[in-house]
Amino acid sequence: MTSRRQFLNFAAAGAGAMLVSPRMVFANVATERRFVFVIQRGAADGLNIVVPYAEPSYASLRGALAVDPATAIKLDGTFALHPSLVETSKMYAGGQALFVHAVASPYRDRSHFDGQNVLETGGTSPYQVKDGWLNRLVAMMPATRENAIAFAPTVPMALRGKADVTSYAPSGLPQAPDDLLTRVSQLYDQDAQLRPLWESAMAARGLAGDAGARQDPASLGKLAAGFLSRDDGPRLAMIETGGWDTHSAQNPRLANQLKALDTMLAALRDGMGPLWNNTTVLVATEFGRTAAANGTGGTDHGTGSAAMLIGGAVSGGRVIADWPGLKPGDLYQARDLRPTTALDAVIAGAASESLGLDPHRTASTLFAQTGTTRPLTGLIRT
């Protein structure tokens, strides 16, 4: 039997465009606020994104990989932003971005797949929880029409669960002619199972409008804004980005990755217009990278990293950090930035305050396995 998800993947591909990577997931809920989760798959190097330039051990640990403080964008007397994040720095200066450093999920090993599973499910160990925290967040909100829509061939783990999810995969293939769509609609008209699925697929196609299928960062941000800014569009979204696993040639690769992220976030901001003031974007990764550079011009899998909160709703212009230091005795297992802030607490606080939910109820719903997650509050403007 064709599942709802399989059918909509097929229908959308036939009807029009396929966005393979990065991928987006959207959720329709009854609120005027917007919440976007951007995952950085591959373990992003928080130490070179939000640079602790005043930390005495930073330059010696990083060697040639250390970001030059003269080129970095100073945030305060301790931290600076990677020079590729030009637009993000402008949002920080305008009070629309903040950074949380030395942050990590409960996961303490260094497998990408296991780490991403813990991050996306909200569990304490890999594959312990079968649904995603973002799906549970959707379920906390009053629903409108479809609870969620995935702009991806498959729905990311964070949005899998009981809340109904449909898929729409835009493609670079030529648009199907209206005559063909009409004929398919007539074919399914009397089919009790397939007719509502086809109608749902066509509704998603209509939301996409003439957005096209370009996969460059600016187009992706514009496409996401196009959906999120519609009166009848989604209010929650997930965007997947990859390529953050920088074992070698890290400096040029990370610069390109951050420039792409910066461009996408700026396009999202610009595309949202006045609705940006009701928008929160959370950017996070499964774990960080080693404090010291390796022998191939990169860094290896680590633990603590940095998370970003960006948007007009964010109470920004600050770096939140219980800084552990980078001296040998300060490092986790003598190699990694030691986490001092729980990423679960950041997610629970940002999600609840962004959507007007009770922070403690949100924390217990999203992260029940951790027992007593205390949400980090005061992140979003009241």
| pLDDT for residue 210 | 47
| pLDDT for residue 376 | 97
CB 346 within 8 A of CB 76: no
- Residue 363: phi and psi, rounded to 5, are -60, -45
In this predicted structure, the answer to whether residue 212 has a pLDDT above a threshold of 90 is: no
Structural tokens at position 6? 């399989």
pTM given for the model: 0.85
CB 271 within 8 A of CB 229: yes
Q: Which domains does the chain have, with CATH numbers?
A: 23-173+215-370 (3.40.720)
Question: At 262, is the secondary structure helix, strand, or coil?
Answer: helix
In this predicted structure, the answer to whether residue 200 has a pLDDT above a threshold of 70 is: no
Q: Of 16-25, 183-192, 329-338, which gets the smallest average pLDDT?
A: 16-25
Beta bridge partners of 80: 51, 74
Give pLDDT tens digits for 289-344. Answer: 999 999 999 999 999 999 999 999 999 999 999 999 999 999 999 999 999 999 99
* Residue 240 binned pLDDT confidence (cut-offs 50, 70, 90): confident
- Residue 170: phi and psi, rounded to 5, are -65, 145
Query: Across the beta sheet with 73-74, what order do the strands follow?
Result: 50-51, 80-81, 73-74
| pLDDT for residue 76 | 97
| pLDDT for residue 78 | 97
Q: What would the mean pLDDT of 246-264 be, rounded to a whole number? A: 96
In this predicted structure, the answer to whether residue 281 has a pLDDT above a threshold of 50 is: yes
CA–CA distance, 258 with 307 (Å, rounded to integer): 13
Give pLDDT tens digits for 75-93. Answer: 999 999 999 999 999 999 9
Beta bridge partners of 87: none
Question: At 239, is the secondary structure helix, strand, or coil?
Answer: strand
The span from the first CA to the last CA of the chain, in angstroms, equals: 48
What's the Cα-to-Cα distance from 183 to each of 47, 189, 228, rounded to whole Å?
Answer: 56, 10, 31
Instruction: For the chain, give the percent of residues with pLDDT over 90.
Output: 65
Give pLDDT tens digits for 148-186. Answer: 555 556 789 999 999 876 555 555 555 556 566 666 777
In this predicted structure, the answer to whether residue 25 has a pLDDT above a threshold of 90 is: no
